Amino acid sequence: MYKVFIVDDEPFIIEGLYDAVDWSRFGMEIVGSAENGRQALEKMQHLPVDILITDISMPVMTGLTLIEEVRKIKPELRVIILSGFDDFSYLKEAMRLGIENYLLKPINFKELDETLTGTIQKINASRAKYALDEYDISILRSNILYRWLTGRIEPAELAERASLLGLRLDRPYLLVSVLRAQSAKLEMALMRLVEQENNVMYLVDYDGDFVVIFTMDEPLMEKPRAIRLLQQVREQCYGEEISISLGSVETISEHITESYRHAKEAQEYFLVLEQPSYVDYVDIQERKDEASRSLTLHWPDYAKGIGARDKDELFNTIDRDFARLRDTSGITPSVLQSIAVELIIRFKIELNDIQYGAAPDFVKNTLSRIMGSGSIDDLILAVKEGVGRLIDSLNSDIKSPVIQQTLNYIHESYDEDLSLKVLAAQFHIHPVYLGHLFNKETGESFTEYINRYRIEKAKELLRNTPLKVQEIAREVGYWETGYFYKQFKKYVGLSPRDFKGLL
């Protein structure tokens, strides 16, 4: 929906424009109005607005001054002027500021309709021309890099996209680091790092982790510097908890997927190590080797249980294997703990190819329990409880993490201006991909889901509050009352007033 803001010092003009134009026919909604330029400028600083319709002669701040000031914060804004003065000097100044049309009062609504149609065409043309903006480029860059790190892009396509996006992939080695944090500062710090270092790239993966890629000529010399750069990034995010893990150094031509996989795996060891400044996959090899020397678990049995989502089978396998391990000569509690940790992390790796989003806190919660267990029986119980919760989550068909986050955001912010582009930017994926994923997992389009959810909330307000229909429309996120009426009747079969009358 295109957002329209109306300014006129005569209230009946504003009311007339609300009622006389079928805004939904143009794909438009009125998001606000004001009776002078200063009031309009204050409101528009906090509203999404595509088209401004304004009078010229108003108290406090004129329409011409308003146009000049609002263009400083919304340079792409389209402006239509209404005026009771057929004055060439006004027209000349308005043309200098750039307007779509100069309409005289009383308003000729046919001319206004034609002006609105032409304005929409210009907006669409402008958006198509500049579609590949910085946001789109960053999303495209993240998608290409993610496909590269996970081995899902052909060499010819990679070479073409790397050239288009200016990605430096011509060095022989790479090192991948994963940074995990809930930090608004982190992305800004990484952006500065990429601007300063031409051998560094970053993306946000589908788990929401920040992935930093260092390309190298001499790993022995350049890896210590990469670590220092990452620690500087953490220092720039003072007050934020950021965990940094390093993958293995790999040759770009052969084993790039290993470095990313190892960095993700190393992340999980933050929970079992005592507050390290970073976790290096090389350093956890000894821990893994110790576990593997004693690890006589038959992994295919566990993989089969996960695939079948059979909790009882998995519990029997855990009991059998750990009963045998505890009776093994020379076994110690610390070795059993290492085996349990390795088993849970291997579960996560397996789930990455199935539906890991079903239990996003599975590893964190289970490893915390394992590390805090006071006995072998308690350790076994911690493993079984974690695996049990995981299977329950898989069986309950929980949505993927990004769709669950999207639904949570809609439920909390349905009264705000919501769009695929806004949410995709927040979750660092492309709007088109988010739209397809949303439809696939909910069975509805993004727009259908939001409208249906808003109408359900409107029904609650009609039942339980004395608010007027126009007020309820605003409360649930509709700025244009006519559009709210249309959607309400579509989903309920009655107008809001008729629905209220039945209560």
Closest-CA residue to 419 (of 458, 455, 440, 445): 445
The answer to whether the CB of 346 falls within 8 A of the CB of 250 is no
Question: Do 384 and 455 belong to one domain?
Answer: no
Residue range 12-34: mean pLDDT, rounded: 87
More confident residue, 231 or 443: 231
State the residue for tokens 């209404």: 82
> Could you tell me how many residues make up the chain?
503
Is there a domain that residue 482 lies in? yes
The pLDDT value recorded for residue 393 is 73
What is the C-alpha separation between 202 and 190, in angstroms, rounded? Answer: 7
Residue range 350-363: mean pLDDT, rounded: 57
Residue 314 has pLDDT above 50, yes or no: yes
Is there a domain that residue 345 lies in? yes
Is there a domain that residue 339 lies in? yes
The pLDDT value recorded for residue 111 is 87
The pLDDT value recorded for residue 154 is 85
Tell me the range of 56-70, 190-204, 219-233 where mean pLDDT is highest: 219-233
CATH classification at residue 86 = 3.40.50.2300
What's the token pair of residue 63? 């329409």
Please say which residue of 110, 129, 148 terminates a domain: 129
Mean per-residue pLDDT of the chain: 83
Q: Where residue 127 falls among pLDDT bands split at 50, 70, 90?
A: low
What is the C-alpha separation between 67 and 22, in angstroms, rounded? Answer: 25
Is there a domain that residue 164 lies in? yes
More confident residue, 249 or 255: 249
pLDDT digits (tens, 9 = 90+) for 378-391: 889 999 998 888 88
Question: Do 188 and 211 belong to one domain?
Answer: yes
When mean pLDDT is compared across 94-103, 133-142, 171-180, 261-270, the lowest value belongs to 133-142
Question: Do 120 and 222 belong to one domain?
Answer: no
Q: Where residue 219 falls among pLDDT bands split at 50, 70, 90?
A: very high
Tell me the range of 247-251, 294-298, 429-433 where mean pLDDT is highest: 247-251
Domain count, the chain: 4
The answer to whether the CB of 33 falls within 8 A of the CB of 39 is no
Range of the domain at 171: 134-260
Tell me the range of 92-96, 271-275, 282-286, 454-458 where mean pLDDT is highest: 454-458
Question: Do 121 and 7 belong to one domain?
Answer: yes
CATH classification at residue 464 = 1.10.10.60
What is the C-alpha separation between 111 and 44, in angstroms, rounded? Answer: 26
Residue 216 has pLDDT above 90, yes or no: yes
State the residue for tokens 């004001």: 34
Question: Do 334 and 422 belong to one domain?
Answer: no
Residue range 33-44: mean pLDDT, rounded: 92
The pLDDT value recorded for residue 131 is 45
CA angle 442, 444, 447 (to 5 degrees): 120
Phi and psi (nearest 5°) for 145?
A: -65, -40
| % of the chain at pLDDT higher than 70 | 88
What's the token pair of residue 124? 């669409």
What is the C-alpha separation between 295 and 338, in angstroms, rounded? Answer: 9
Integer angstrom CA distances of residue 492 from 1, 39, 316, 454? 22, 37, 51, 12
Residue 90 has pLDDT above 80, yes or no: no
Q: Where residue 53 falls among pLDDT bands split at 50, 70, 90?
A: very high
What is the C-alpha separation between 119 and 108, in angstroms, rounded? Answer: 16
Question: Do 124 and 152 belong to one domain?
Answer: no
Please say which residue of 395, 421, 443 terminates a domain: 395
Is there a domain that residue 344 lies in? yes
More confident residue, 295 or 131: 295
The answer to whether the CB of 324 falls within 8 A of the CB of 310 is no
The pLDDT value recorded for residue 52 is 95
In the chain, count of helices (H) and strands (E)?
Answer: 23, 10
Residue 363 has pLDDT above 80, yes or no: no
Is there a domain that residue 288 lies in? no
Neighbouring-strand partners of residue 384: none
Residue range 236-246: mean pLDDT, rounded: 88
More confident residue, 361 or 315: 315
Q: Where residue 352 falls among pLDDT bands split at 50, 70, 90?
A: low
The answer to whether the CB of 165 falls within 8 A of the CB of 141 is yes
| Residue 150 per-residue DSSP state | T
Integer angstrom CA distances of residue 204 from 124, 240, 299, 454? 30, 18, 31, 31
Is there a domain that residue 286 lies in? no
What's the token pair of residue 466? 């004395």
Q: What is the phi-psi region of residue 309: left when phi exceeds 0, alpha when psi lies from -120 to 50, beta otherwise?
A: left
Question: Do 438 and 497 belong to one domain?
Answer: yes
Is there a domain that residue 282 lies in? no
The pLDDT value recorded for residue 184 is 67
**For the packed helices 333-352 and 299-308, what is the interaxial angle rounded to 10 degrees?**
50
When mean pLDDT is compared across 42-46, 103-107, 349-353, 434-438, the lowest value belongs to 349-353
What's the token pair of residue 203? 């993306």
Residue range 410-419: mean pLDDT, rounded: 89
Residue 126 has pLDDT above 60, yes or no: yes
Residue 43 has pLDDT above 80, yes or no: yes
Question: Do 391 and 408 belong to one domain?
Answer: no
The pLDDT value recorded for residue 132 is 46
Neighbouring-strand partners of residue 54: 7, 81
CA atoms in the 13 A half-sphere facing the CB of 225 = 13
Question: Do 18 and 93 belong to one domain?
Answer: yes
Residue range 424-430: mean pLDDT, rounded: 75
- Spatial neighbors of 192 by CB under 8 A, at least 6 apart, are 236
Phi and psi (nearest 5°) for 54?
A: -140, 145
Question: Do 375 and 439 belong to one domain?
Answer: no
- Spatial neighbors of 20 by CB under 8 A, at least 6 apart, are 109
The pLDDT value recorded for residue 150 is 87
Closest-CA residue to 205 (of 239, 245, 171, 170): 245
Report H helices in 329-445.
Answer: 333-352, 362-371, 376-395, 401-413, 420-427, 431-442
CATH classification at residue 205 = 3.30.70.870
Residue 405 has pLDDT above 90, yes or no: no
Please say which residue of 366, 395, 424 terminates a domain: 395
| % of the chain at pLDDT higher than 90 | 25
More confident residue, 459 or 124: 459
3-state secondary structure of 5: strand
What is the C-alpha separation between 472 and 475, in angstroms, rounded? Answer: 5
The pLDDT value recorded for residue 224 is 96
What is the C-alpha separation between 296 and 307, in angstroms, rounded? Answer: 21
Question: Do 414 and 482 belong to one domain?
Answer: yes
Closest-CA residue to 253 (of 142, 169, 377): 169
Question: Do 414 and 310 belong to one domain?
Answer: no
Closest-CA residue to 482 (of 494, 491, 473): 473
